[in-house]
Amino acid sequence: MTPQPQPSWRKPAGIFLIMLLIIVWAVLVASLSSWVGDWPVLVQALFYLIAGIAWIWILPLKPLLRWMELGRWRG
């Protein structure tokens, strides 16, 4: 039988960091809602689309997920 690999501490730590990042970002965006609420509806939709996809999922999470899987920040 082949030995089983030891579980890495990076995955639970990464999950915790992802949850923390989502909470902090949600609070930040919600705190801007009174300011963004004065904008036209289509501009608001564009803002929330960019804030929700680009800044949370693409920029900070890509290196974090890479670190969780490979143990390094850059590819």
Return the higher-pLDDT residue of 11 and 42: 42
Length of the chain: 75
Q: What is the pTM of this model?
A: 0.70
The mean per-residue pLDDT over the stretch 46-53 comes to 85
The mean per-residue pLDDT over the stretch 46-75 comes to 78
Q: Please give the Cα distance from 50 to 37 (Å, whole number).
A: 16
CB 28 within 8 A of CB 50: no
Q: How confident is the model at residue 56 (pLDDT cuts 50, 70, 90)?
A: low
> Quick one: pLDDT at residue 38?
94
> Quick one: pLDDT at residue 57?
67
